[in-house]
C-alpha cells in the first residue's frame, strides 16, 4: 500500500522553522509514505457567503485533503494559539456544512517555536478544533520543540539531539495512519 500525507504548515514565513521541520521530518518515513506540503498562503479570507462558490484555491485544498490518507499539522504558536492563516485554511476546508474534507482523516500535530513551551498551547488549541472536525489525532508521543542552532543540520535534516525522539514520533504517527486506513 502507499499513503499520501497532506502536510499543513501553520506559518507563511519564508524561513519558517515549522516548514523546515515539516520538510526534515518527512525524510524519517519509509518510501511508501509521500508527504506533500499544501499551499495555504493564497487562500482568500474565509467568508461564509462564498460557500456555494468556493475559490479555486479552496477547491484545490479540499481535493488535496480528500485525496490523502493522513494529515500532518506542523504549526507555529502565535499569541498562545494557532496562527490565523492556519485557522483560515481549516475553516475553508471544513465547509460548506456537511462537506468537510477532514472527517475521519488521521492526523499528527507537531510544532516548533522560539519560546520554551514549544507550541504546546498552539497544539492544544489545534487539537480542540480537530476534535470537533472528527479528525482522530495521535495523542502520544507529544512533540514540543524549541528552535535552536542544533535542531537542524546544515543540510536541513533533524539534528542529532532530536533525531531519535522524532523518529519515535514518526513511527507512532505512521502506525496511526495505517491503523485508520485499514
Residue 13 CB, shortest distance to ligand FNR, in Å, is: 4
Whichever of 21 and 28 has its CB closer to ligand FNR, that residue is 21
Please identify, using beta-carbon distances, which residue of 46 and 78 lies nearer to ligand FNR.
78
Interface residues with ligand FNR (CB under 6 A) are: 11, 13, 16-18, 76-80, 113-115, 117
Q: How far is CA 121 from CA 77, 117, 129, 134, 161, in A?
A: 7, 8, 13, 20, 23
Cell numbers given for 16: 519558517
Looking at the Cβ atoms of 68 and 113, the one nearer to ligand FNR is 113
What is the closest distance, in whole angstroms, from the C-beta atom of residue 80 to ligand FNR in the complex?
Answer: 5
* Nearer CB in complex with ligand FNR: 103/114: 114
Residue of this chain nearest to ligand FNR (CB atom): 115
b/e per residue 54-92 (b: at least 16 CB within 10 A): beebbeebbebbeebbbbbbbbbbbeebbbebbbebbbb
Amino acid at each position: 500500500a502507499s499513503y499520501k500525507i497532506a502536510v499543513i504548515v501553520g506559518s507563511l514565513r519564508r524561513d519558517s522553522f515549522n516548514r523546515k521541520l515539516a520538510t526534515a521530518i518527512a525524510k524519517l518515513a519509509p518510501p511508501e509514505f509521500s508527504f506533500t506540503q499544501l499551499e495555504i498562503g493564497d487562500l482568500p479570507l474565509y467568508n461564509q457567503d462564498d460557500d456555494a462558490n468556493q475559490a479555486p484555491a479552496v477547491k484545490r485544498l479540499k481535493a488535496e485533503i480528500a485525496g490523502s490518507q493522513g494529515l500532518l499539522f506542523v504549526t507555529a504558536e502565535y499569541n498562545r494559539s494557532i496562527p490565523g492563516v492556519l485557522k483560515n485554511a481549516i475553516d475553508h476546508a471544513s465547509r460548506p456544512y456537511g462537506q468537510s474534507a477532514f472527517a475521519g482523516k488521521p492526523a499528527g500535530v507537531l510544532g516548533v517555536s522560539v519560546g520554551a513551551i514549544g507550541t504546546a498551547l498552539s497544539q492544544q488549541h489545534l487539537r480542540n478544533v480537530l476534535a470537533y472536525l472528527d479528525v482522530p489525532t495521535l495523542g502520544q508521543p507529544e512533540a514540543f520543540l524549541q528552535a535552536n542552532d542544533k535542531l537542524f543540520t546544515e543540510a536541513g535534516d533533524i539534528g542529532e539531539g532530536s533525531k531519535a525522539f522524532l523518529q519515535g514520533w514518526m513511527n507512532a504517527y505512521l502506525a496511526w495512519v495505517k491503523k485508520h486506513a485499514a
